[in-house]
Amino acid sequence: MERMTAPAPASRRVLLAAPRGYCAGVDRAVIAVEKALEQYGAPVYVRHEIVHNKYVVQTLQKKGAIFVEKTEEVPPGNIVMFSAHGVAPVVHEEAARGRLATIDATCPLVTKVHKEAIRYANEDFDILLIGHEGHEEVIGTSGEAPDHITIVDGPDDVAKVEVRDESKVVWLSQTTLSVDETMETVDALKQKFPLLVSPPSDDICYATSNRQAAVKAMGAEADLVVVVGSKNSSNSIRLVEVALDAGARAAHLVDFASEIDEAWLEGVTTVGLTSGASVPEVLVEEVLEWLAQRGFADVEIVKTAEESIVFSLPKELRRDLRTEAAELVAGGAEE
Ligand code: 0CG
Ligand code: SF4
């Protein structure tokens, strides 16, 4: 009898992007909340999600962090922490009015863009801030100089941009944009304003660019790219777009392994896997396990950069903020 052999299945593999996951700014911000909880006990109020990740937020909530959207929601005499995405100066004023002690967990690379905005506004430039309208970071940066800043939300927005003086225009950007799309926007702006000045250094941060470069390197080979990250995480969403632009047949953003649809694996032999800058590695490990259970146990690392940046913790964590907050309230009562 002739022996029938089924065709051997093409070998299934995972291409795992490196770098992926936590950047230095996220690591610092999350540790800052944990330290504040340790130092002062719960609750610690955090204005806005400390980073845009569901799991991180839920984990910190369980430890006693309370996330609020408005400074006014924090009762006087408490500590409020500002998220990694940064805040406008008006938010610092709100905190002072509300007699709150503050810990600023704004990423130093976002602060750098704030400083550039202040400097160009002082020189009376019109600032074209490339970024996503309504994103927390863009709200914070534009709040530094609202009269000088116009938000440009991608290349399609360029046609409607108007400036006071074409010889005094500079572009700046949100830190977590698509590198390629931002260059398209800049090219279109340069066509319109030939004297456009560029920022002194890249505003899109190292973590954003490195994660995009890694996913680009694997995109063409992947039948499916899974990006771990939350739906409100700008840098994570960009990884899905970059994967598709690089040639991936499909790409999806998931918070957890449980959100992966089995149907996505139909006809797939190569899965690309990465995660946004606000995503803890444990969530990637869960996806790797989920994939291994379905025959994707062979993991190859696609490494395009080495990262070693670490930021020191916010300086306020070295002060006694509980006493400071109590004094603010006592001072308020005497008035
Ligand atoms: O990518 P965005 O700016 O939306 O933020 P996320 O919290 O996801 O990660 C980096 C930071 C801060
Ligand atoms: Fe800072 Fe970049 Fe991380 Fe944002 S993504 S927190 S700018 S290092």
Single-letter amino acid code for the residue at 57:
V
Residue 246, φ and ψ in degrees, nearest 5: -80, -5
Percentage of the chain exceeding pLDDT 90: 92
Contact 243, 217 (CB under 8 A): no
What is the per-residue pLDDT for 9? 57
What is the per-residue pLDDT for 319? 78
Of residues 158, 142, 202, the one with CA closest to residue 176? 202
Catalytic residue of the set 137, 184, 221, 334: 137
β-pairing, 126-130 vs 149-152, is: parallel
Q: Is the CB of 136 under 6 A from ligand 1?
A: no
Of residues 329, 312, 272, 334, the one with CA closest to residue 12? 272
For residues 102 and 91, give the distance between their C-alpha atoms in angstroms, rounded to a whole number: 10
User: What are the pLDDT digits (tens) for 61-85?
Assistant: 999 999 999 999 999 999 999 999 9
For residues 39 and 32, give the distance between their C-alpha atoms in angstroms, rounded to a whole number: 10
User: What are the pLDDT digits (tens) for 94-143?
Assistant: 999 999 999 999 999 999 999 999 999 999 999 999 999 999 999 999 99
Tell me whether residue 137 is one of the annotated catalytic residues: yes
Q: With 0-12 CB in 10 A as exposed, 13-18 as middle and 19+ as buried, what is 23?
A: buried
Cα 277 to middle of ligand 2, angstroms? 7
Give the strands of the sheet with 101-104, arranged side by side.
Answer: 65-68, 44-47, 79-82, 101-104
User: What are the pLDDT digits (tens) for 185-202?
Assistant: 999 999 999 999 999 999
Query: Average pLDDT, whole number, for the chain?
Result: 95
For a ligand 2 pocket test, name from 20, 104, 205, 233 the mutation site with the most ligand atoms within 8 angstroms of its C-beta. 205
Between 10 and 95, whose confidence is greater?
95
Point out the least confidently predicted range of 8-12, 109-113, 142-146, 154-158: 8-12
Ligand whose nearest atom lies closest to the CA of 205: 2
User: What are the pLDDT digits (tens) for 245-277?
Assistant: 999 999 999 999 999 999 999 999 999 999 999
β-pairing, 251-254 vs 298-303, is: unpaired
Q: What is the mean pLDDT of residues 32-49?
A: 96
Between 189 and 335, whose confidence is greater?
189
Q: What is the mean pLDDT of residues 20-44?
A: 97
For residues 306 and 46, give the distance between their C-alpha atoms in angstroms, rounded to a whole number: 31
Q: Ligand 2, closest atom to CA 309? A: 8
Contact 215, 17 (CB under 8 A): yes
Contact 221, 267 (CB under 8 A): no
Q: What is the mean pLDDT of residues 217-230?
A: 98
